[in-house]
């Protein structure tokens, strides 16, 4: 594939850092410049070879954009409007922009509000990969292998920019799925955002109890797995919750309906209803777990 002489990664965390490492491992990228707010994280990214040069957001970092071939936004989505505003005008004519935001409707709206003539060269993206660890030190080249990357191209998206971004995510090992932004956000609310917020609400409620230490002392491997995502980055998930709140609230309402059914079965001592729900869940979860890339 065509080499990428200069990549600028804004937000050198798990996702941005792993994208850089994956492209470096494939030999398709020249120089990687990392932009971030934390000097410590950028220093760690430099030390780990994730990036070749760094600039914090305090200095005029947008001067790095004039000769950039690709800019990846991998900061929390709440920062995107300010980032797009800062980028607009600084981007060179050949620069393609993509992102790794977990929500797409708000990201597209922010891009349209600020990117101006560069808007056709923005390809909204969301790699479905993550971990409870964050920061450049958590990054690794294989993060996207066998995972899905969703692209949500728009009517105005340039075909060449789309093909280029698609090829780069494929070079990272990802399988490409194309969706419109609203459908992406509805699906992710159901399979990603809701579980994150359920796990967090559950742990926060337990932790606030006076006997929380006694409770957590008897928590086992089921608790461990169910709550692993509750340790994820709070600022990132606050932004996701706010950005996708309408779809997320619809998912919460649907889940409340499922809780009502469960609670009624328990109240009535209805073993058949409980068994039916548990069987449906176990069958679906086992089938999902046997899909490639899902285990």
State which of positions 111-150 bind a copy of itself (CB under 8 A). Answer: 128-131, 147-148, 150
Q: Which of 2, 58, 286, 292 binds a copy of itself (CB under 8 A)?
A: 286
CB 199 within 8 A of CB 230: yes
Residues binding a copy of itself: what is the number (CB under 8 A)? 92
Q: Does residue 176 bind a copy of itself (CB under 8 A)?
A: no
Chain positions 247 to 276 lying near a copy of itself, rule: CB under 8 A, are 248-249, 252, 254-259, 261-263, 265-267, 269, 271, 274-275
Q: What's the residue count for the chain? A: 295
Q: How far is the CB of 233 from a copy of itself (least distance, A)?
A: 8
Among 43, 181, 195, 210, binds a copy of itself (CB under 8 A): 195
**What are the backbone dihedrals phi and psi of residue 292, each rounded to the nearest 5 degrees, phi first?**
-60, 135
**Other residues' Cβ atoms within 10 Å of the Cβ of residue 3:** 10
- Tell how strand 148-151 and strand 125-127 pair up: antiparallel
Alpha-carbon gap, residue 29 to 40, rounded angstroms: 24
Determine the interface stretch with a copy of itself among 27-35, 56-64, 80-88, 183-191 (rule: CB under 8 A): 183-191
Give min distance, CB of 294 to a copy of itself, in A: 7
Cβ proximity to a copy of itself: between 182 and 254 the closer is 254
Cα separation, 138 vs 46, whole angstroms: 13
The verdict on 218 binding a copy of itself (CB under 8 A) reads yes
The residue range among 8-16, 85-93, 160-168, 238-246 that interacts with a copy of itself, by the rule CB under 8 A, is 238-246
**Among residues 31 and 202, whose Cβ is nearest to a copy of itself?**
202
């Amino acid at each position: 594939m065509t080499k990428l002489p200069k990549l600028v990664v804004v937000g050198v965390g798990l996702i941005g850092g792993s994208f850089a490492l994956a492209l470096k491992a494939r030999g398709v990228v020249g120089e990687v410049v990392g932009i971030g707010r934390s000097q410590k994280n950028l220093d760690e990214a430099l030390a780990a070879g994730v990036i070749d040069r760094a600039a914090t957001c305090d200095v005029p970092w947008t001067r790095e954009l004039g000769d950039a071939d690709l800019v990846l936004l991998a900061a929390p989505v709440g920062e995107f409007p300010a980032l797009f505003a800062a980028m607009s005008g600084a981007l060179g004519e050949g620069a393609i922009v993509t992102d790794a935001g977990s929500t797409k409707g708000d990201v597209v709206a922010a891009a349209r509000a600020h990117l101006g003539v560069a808007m056709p060269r923005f390809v909204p993206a969301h790699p479905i990969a993550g971990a409870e660890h964050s920061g450049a030190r958590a990054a690794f080249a294989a993060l996207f292998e066998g995972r899905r990357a969703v692209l949500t191209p728009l009517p105005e998206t340039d075909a060449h920019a789309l093909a280029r971004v698609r090829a780069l995510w494929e070079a990272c090992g990802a399988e490409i799925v194309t969706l419109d932004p609203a459908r992406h956000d509805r699906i992710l609310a159901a399979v990603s955002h809701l579980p994150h917020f359920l796990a967090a609400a559950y742990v926060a409620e337990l932790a606030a109890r006076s006997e929380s230490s006694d409770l957590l002392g008897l928590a086992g491997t089921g608790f461990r797995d169910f709550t692993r995502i509750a340790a994820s980055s709070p600022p990132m998930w606050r932004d996701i919750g706010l950005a996708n709140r309408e779809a997320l609230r619809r998912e919460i309402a649907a889940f409340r309906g499922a809780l009502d059914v469960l609670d009624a079965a328990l109240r009535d001592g209805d073993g058949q209803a409980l068994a039916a729900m548990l069987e449906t869940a176990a069958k679906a979860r086992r089938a999902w777990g046997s899909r490639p890339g899902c285990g």
